[in-house]
Amino acid sequence: MTDYRKLFDLSNKTALVLGAASGIGRASAEALGSLGAHVICVDRDADGAEATATTIRNGGSAEALVADAADGAAIERMAERVRTAHGRLDIAVTTPGVNIRKTLLDCTEVDFDRMISLNLKGTFHFLRACGRIMVAQRGGSLIACSSVRAMTIEPGLAVYGATKAAISLLVKGFASEVGQAGVRVNAIAPSIIETALTAPIVARADIHQRYAGHTVFNRWGHASEVAAAIAFLAADASSYISGSTLLVDGGWTAIDGPPTGLTEISR
């Protein structure tokens, strides 16, 4: 009989998490560490990356590195340093992103370039650099961060949503190219998650509740809930999943607007 517990065991695995200083990145690093992986916590915030690594080291194994997700050369150096130090890379997760909420008519070329550079180009550099290691070793799991905004949109998010939709397609294309080398490539697509990025919205009670009402649970998600999905995609439990974008959206895309008029659930 299959040992299903072992399918989620990441012992003796080397994992890299870019964006590990806070939010979904930090939660993901902690999740992978708790399942037994040695976690390389990477962020441009050196103190934040080290703080995450220190937390993991309380019961696991971790180290911290500094790299800017928007700097392609820095990502290449990061990957080479990991390859040299550890010999292999089993799991690689990238979470950084930026959202400049402006209508298309108000969006400047600087705004556009900033979102493209970090969200899309940064993901490209990450997948390419870490993917090279995994193809050479004939195995590994790459995980990128898309968004529910790749599928549903609202005014002011056209460019951001376009970058996230592009990430989902980038994942599909790369998965088709490296699958025969035993490398899996997937993405997660969160909806409303309480993190530092969404703190300004969370602080507005009216908007906070309005967004919550777009989910079937009538609540925001937690970074740990996204991290659990990332851990699944990292583990052998998802060994037959590649080229997919896993929605972690609280049912946001399952319904057309807030559920209303429901006072009782029939059983």
pLDDT reported for residue 267:
43
Q: Going by C-beta distance under 8 Å and a sequence separation of 6 or more, which residues neighbour residue 132?
A: 79
Residue 256 lies in a domain: no
Establish if 260 belongs to a structural domain. Answer: no
Q: What is the mean pLDDT of the chain?
A: 94
Q: How far is CA 259 from the centre of its chain?
A: 28
Rounded Cα distance, 5 and 182, in Å: 22
Distances (CA, A) of 56 to 32, 107, 154: 9, 40, 38
100-135 burial: b if 16+ Cβ within 10 Å, else e: bebeeeebeeebbeebbbbbbbbbbbbbebbbbbbb
Euclidean distance between CA atoms 37 and 9, whole angstroms: 8
| Section 246-263 average pLDDT | 80
- Going by pLDDT thresholds of 50, 70 and 90, the confidence category of residue 266 is very low
| Banded pLDDT at 263 (limits 50, 70, 90) | very low
**Which strands, in side-by-side order, build the sheet including 140-145?**
61-66, 38-43, 14-18, 91-94, 140-145, 183-190, 245-248
The DSSP result for 126-153, as a single string, is HHHHHHHHHHHHT-EEEEEE--GGGT--
Question: Does 4 qualify as catalytic in the annotation?
Answer: no
On whether residue 62 sits in a domain, the answer given is: yes
Percent of the chain with pLDDT over 70: 96
Contact by Cβ (8 Å): 41, 20: yes
Nearest to 86 by CA among 78, 96, 76: 78
Mean pLDDT along residues 171-189: 98
Q: pTM here?
A: 0.94
- The dihedral through the CA atoms of 218, 207, 227, 176 has a sign that is positive
Cβ proximity of 175 and 186 under 8 Å: yes
Give the per-residue pLDDT at 148: 96
Which pLDDT band holds residue 260 (cuts at 50, 70, 90)? low
pLDDT surpasses 70 at 262: no
CA distance 147 to 168: 9
CATH number at residue 58: 3.40.50.720
Would you say residue 27 lies in a domain? yes
Taking the CA atoms of 40, 7, 134 and 149 in sequence, report the sign of the dihedral they define: negative
Is pLDDT of 231 > 60?
yes
Question: Could you give the CA distance from residue 37 to residue 152 in angstroms, rounded to a whole number?
Answer: 34
pLDDT in tens, 98-130: 999 999 999 999 999 999 999 999 999 999 999
Task: Please name the residues in contact with 233: beta carbons below 8 A apart, sequence gap of 6 or more.
Answer: 141, 143, 184, 186, 188, 241, 246
Q: How many domains does the chain have?
A: 1
253: in domain = no
Say yes or no to pLDDT of 48 above 80. yes
% of the chain residues with pLDDT over 90: 90
pLDDT of residue 259: 61
Does 264 fall in a domain?
no
Query: What was the pLDDT predicted at 265?
Result: 43
Indicate whether 259 belongs to any domain: no
- Report helix, strand or coil for 59: coil
**pLDDT (average), residues 82-90:** 97
Please identify which of the residues 4, 160, 211, 240 carries the catalytic annotation.
Answer: 160
User: What average pLDDT score do residues 25-43 get?
Assistant: 98
Environment class of 152 (CB within 10 Å of its CB; exposed 0-12, middle 13-18, buried 19+)? middle
CB half-sphere exposure, 12, CA atoms < 13 A: 2
Tell me the residue range of the domain where 115 lies.
4-248
What radius of gyration, in Å, describes the C-alpha atoms of the chain?
18
